[in-house]
Amino acid sequence: MTARDYSQLVAREICDALSRTDDSQVEMLLDMAEEARNIFVGGAGRSGLMMKAFAMRLMHIGFSSYVVGETTTPAIGPDDLLIAASGSGRTSMTLALVEAAAARGARTAVITGHEDSPLASVADHCVYLHAPVVFVNHERPTRQPPGSLFEQCLLAQCDAMILMLMRRRGVPEDFIRRRHTKFE
């Protein structure tokens, strides 16, 4: 296979997985985000990196957003929202984040590849991406390394949610440009 073939394989897998996302789950998450005073995001490994990108875009479009674990992140509390991601839905650190946020009165939402996971069961809301990390009956929905499809779908879904929030809130592109880092 050529480089183009591999790129197209990855793109097809992402499109196939995201085409099955439940719109009502996404809309509910966006409602929760718009109602929140502050939005905190979290996750481990590459899922955590995708969530950092999401927090940055949330800030760009006018939300007060924070990444859990950063030194400048304030305390979470009532009226706040934690959005956490885990492909397996079993990552102990991410599960602990959701439980801690809930104990402090915050609302919680998760994005996962396993809607019947421990993480999904403790959150107030779950967005299920059809890109499982733990394969059932050895069935592999992807030719990529484990986790890659979920992480790619997570980034794409988060970017799609930013577009949806921009439309909902009437955020023009020049607003984002003004809030983008200008140190270069």
Give me the pLDDT at residue 142, please: 77
pLDDT in tens, 144-178: 777 899 999 999 999 999 999 999 999 999 999 88
Interior CA angle at 45 toward 107 and 91, to 5°?
55
CATH superfamily for 3-170 is Glucose-6-phosphate isomerase like protein; domain 1 (3.40.50.10490)
Helix, strand, or coil (residue 43): strand
Residue 134's pLDDT band (cuts 50, 70, 90): low
138 pLDDT exceeds 60?
no
For 70-79, the pLDDT digits (tens) are 999 999 999 9
Domain locations in the chain? 3-170
Amino acid at 97: L
Distance CA(48)–CA(41), nearest Å, equals: 8
* pLDDT surpassing 90 at residue 58: yes
Q: CA nearest 33: which of 161, 163, 153?
A: 161
- Residues belonging to the active site: 151
